[in-house]
């Protein structure tokens, strides 16, 4: 479960809800667990705090408002949350001292998927929590803080309060931005907790999506990732648009644009909803990145049925074939689960075989873990942990070989890279991605961040490529 500590912009405006009146502004600290949707939700929380006059704190110990934005996809997420809350409990011991200094008590909030699922129970179990906001109640933060400052006790909101507008979000990245196009999922894959934490699908209007992407482009963002649990099922009936139609509209809206958004990505796609029109659009729209993340989960038809995935292994591989024919050079990644209840050696072998055939550029792989409120609980989880572990290691070993070979095939080629950061290994190098989502590192200065540059690949390694610049940035 990835974690990110998020701060907002340190501008100060309006009143200070928790700091000492008339002195220093109040501060906030956010810990984010989980996927990009949670990261973007934290950016929206950070933007709301800024509008309330709060500034980011360096750590929870210095914060007036502490927010844990949770994820429940992996096992033991709740145990981890409550042990984190236990560690933060001492902050509540400072209330008397804070009152003498004219400050309000520290407020501790839990948001995200566990908040949506457990609601009231969180406050009942951990008395230091002041408020709980579900995944659809992000915009309730200001009213909840106001209610607390007026002396109202623990606040819990888990009903709909959806507002897709993220124009006030404090985005963590100045090159790439997330844009939410839908909330929820209707699919009920038997292993997945999302439909019970994020609810059923609600779609954002096409005009609002296009306006937000245009606005980001005018502000100098170079890449946008459209977010949703199952973006392929997005639809705007009033505008008469489906997801491929939306991509075309965005491609048109950004045509001729200089210095703004050059690439549109999207996450996540369900294979059953991947239409020929979407594949065709990826091949023909210049602004649509040539990368698809297409979770397959397993290579066994029997397990796919038990997972309620509504496609077969052959159907999936046919999509991959169509994609590679229509979108030359496309990058392909996936998600895989090993050790689903009752997975036999034959089932697992079918997964290995599918990975060989699909020839992925990368993947995320996990051991199955039972999640509350999911249909897979009806199957007995009989596989020993060491079998799941052994299968995961074998699968990852196979992919390591495929990836190293594929990455070496890039050597000698010139690719267009959108530079997005300094390299993780050395500050003398910068790092970026190709349209197909390959990570490329090369010697360069920070001034290149945000530019597109041509890079000749000199070395293909396990996870990334290395190269040298061979042209002017643009
Ligand atoms: S498509 Fe399946 S795995 Fe993806 S969010 Fe929906 S239920 Fe979960």
| Residues 79-92: tens digit of each pLDDT | 889 999 999 998 88
Instruction: Give yes or no for residue 297 CB within 6 A of ligand 1.
Output: no
Kindly report, as residue ranges, where domains of CATH 3.80.30.20 are found in the chain: 176-408
Ligand 1 centre distance from Cα of residue 449 (Å): 34
The residue whose CA has the least distance to atom 2 of ligand 1 is 189
The residue whose CA has the least distance to atom 8 of ligand 1 is 192
Instruction: Give yes or no for residue 185 CB within 6 A of ligand 1.
Output: yes
Q: Which of 35, 74, 192 to mutate to test ligand 1, by most ligand atoms within 8 A of the CB atom? A: 192
Asked if 361 and 463 count as a contact pair (C-beta separation under 8 A), the reply is no
Query: Ligand 1 atom closest to Cα of 192?
Result: 8
Instruction: Give yes or no for residue 230 CB within 6 A of ligand 1.
Output: yes
Query: Ligand 1 atom closest to Cα of 188?
Result: 7
Instruction: Give yes or no for residue 73 CB within 6 A of ligand 1.
Output: no
pLDDT at 21: 46
- Judge whether residue 17 has pLDDT over 50: no
Ligand 1 centre distance from Cα of residue 69 (Å): 20
Task: Return the higher-pLDDT residue of 179 and 152.
Answer: 179
Homologous superfamily of domain range 414-469: Nucleic acid-binding proteins (2.40.50.140)
Task: Return the higher-pLDDT residue of 194 and 319.
Answer: 319
273 exposed, middle or buried (CB, 10 Å; 0-12, 13-18, 19+)?
middle
pLDDT at 23: 58
Ligand 1 centre distance from Cα of residue 97 (Å): 47
Instruction: Give yes or no for residue 436 CB within 6 A of ligand 1.
Output: no
Backbone angles phi, psi at 414, to 5 degrees: -105, 130
Kindly report, as residue ranges, where domains of CATH 3.40.50.12160 are found in the chain: 3-157
Instruction: Give yes or no for residue 192 CB within 6 A of ligand 1.
Output: yes
> Model confidence at 276, in pLDDT bands (50, 70, 90)?
very high
> Model confidence at 319, in pLDDT bands (50, 70, 90)?
very high
Ligand 1 centre distance from Cα of residue 314 (Å): 20
- Judge whether residue 2 has pLDDT over 60: no
- Judge whether residue 230 has pLDDT over 90: yes
- Judge whether residue 9 has pLDDT over 50: no
176-408 folds as: pyruvate-formate lyase- activating enzyme (3.80.30)
Backbone angles phi, psi at 322, to 5 degrees: -60, -40
The residue whose CA has the least distance to atom 4 of ligand 1 is 229
- Judge whether residue 281 has pLDDT over 90: yes
Query: Ligand 1 atom closest to Cα of 268?
Result: 4
Query: Ligand 1 atom closest to Cα of 308?
Result: 2
Most confident of 23-37, 108-122, 285-299: 285-299
Instruction: Give yes or no for residue 195 CB within 6 A of ligand 1.
Output: yes
- Judge whether residue 284 has pLDDT over 90: yes
- The hierarchical CATH code for the domain 3-157 is 3.40.50.12160
Instruction: Give yes or no for residue 194 CB within 6 A of ligand 1.
Output: yes
- Judge whether residue 358 has pLDDT over 90: yes
pLDDT at 22: 47
Mean pLDDT, rounded, for 361-369: 93
Ligand 1 centre distance from Cα of residue 191 (Å): 9
């Amino acid at each position: 479960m990835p974690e990110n500590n998020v701060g907002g912009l340190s501008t100060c405006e309006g009143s200070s809800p928790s700091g000492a009146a008339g002195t220093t502004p109040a501060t906030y600290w956010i810990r984010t667990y989980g996927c990009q949707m949670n990261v973007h939700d934290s950016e929206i929380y950070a933007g709301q705090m800024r509008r309330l006059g709060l500034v980011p704190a360096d750590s929870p110990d210095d914060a007036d408002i502490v927010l844990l934005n949770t994820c429940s996809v992996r096992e033991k997420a709740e145990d981890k949350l409550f042990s984190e809350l236990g560690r933060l409990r001492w902050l509540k011991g400072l209330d008397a001292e804070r009152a003498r200094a004219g400050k309000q008590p520290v407020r501790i909030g839990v948001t995200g998927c566990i908040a949506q699922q457990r609601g009231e129970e969180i406050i009942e179990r951990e008395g230091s929590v002041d408020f709980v906001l579900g995944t659809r109640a992000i915009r309730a933060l200001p009213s909840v803080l106001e209610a607390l400052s007026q002396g109202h006790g623990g606040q819990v909101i888990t009903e709909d309060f959806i507002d897709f507008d993220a124009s006030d979000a404090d985005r963590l990245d100045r090159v790439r931005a997330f844009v939410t196009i839908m909330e929820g999922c209707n699919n009920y894959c038997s292993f997945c907790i999302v439909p019970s934490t994020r609810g059923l699908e609600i779609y954002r209007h096409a005009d609002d999506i296009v306006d937000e992407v245009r606005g980001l482009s005018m502000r100098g963002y170079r890449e946008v990732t459209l977010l949703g649990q199952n973006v392929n099922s997005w639809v705007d009936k009033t505008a008469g648009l489906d997801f491929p139609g939306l991509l075309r509209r965005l491609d048109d809206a950004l045509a001729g644009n200089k210095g703004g958004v050059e690439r549109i990505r999207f996450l996540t796609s369900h294979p059953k909803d991947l239409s020929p029109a979407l594949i065709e659009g990826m091949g023909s729209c210049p602004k649509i990145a040539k990368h698809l993340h297409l979770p397959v989960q397993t290579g066994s038809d029997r397990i796919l049925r038990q997972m309620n995935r509504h496609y077969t292994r052959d159907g999936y591989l046919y999509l991959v074939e169509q994609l590679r024919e229509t979108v030359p050079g496309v990058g392909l990644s996936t998600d895989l689960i090993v050790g689903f209840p009752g997975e036999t050696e034959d089932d697992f072998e079918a997964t290995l075989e599918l990975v060989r055939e699909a020839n992925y550029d990368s993947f995320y792989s996990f051991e199955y873990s039972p999640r509350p409120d999911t249909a897979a609980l009806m199957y007995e989880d009989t596989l020993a942990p060491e079998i799941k572990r052994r299968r995961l290691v074998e699968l990852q070993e196979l992919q390591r070989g495929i990836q190293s070979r594929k990455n070496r095939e890039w050597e000698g080629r010139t690719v267009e890279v959108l530079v997005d950061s300094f390299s993780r290994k050395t500050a003398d190098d910068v790092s970026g991605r190709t349209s197909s989502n390959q990570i490329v590192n090369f010697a360069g200065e920070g001034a290149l961040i945000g530019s597109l540059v041509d890079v000749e690949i000199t070395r293909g390694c396990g996870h990334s490529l290395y190269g040298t610049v061979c042209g002017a940035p643009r």
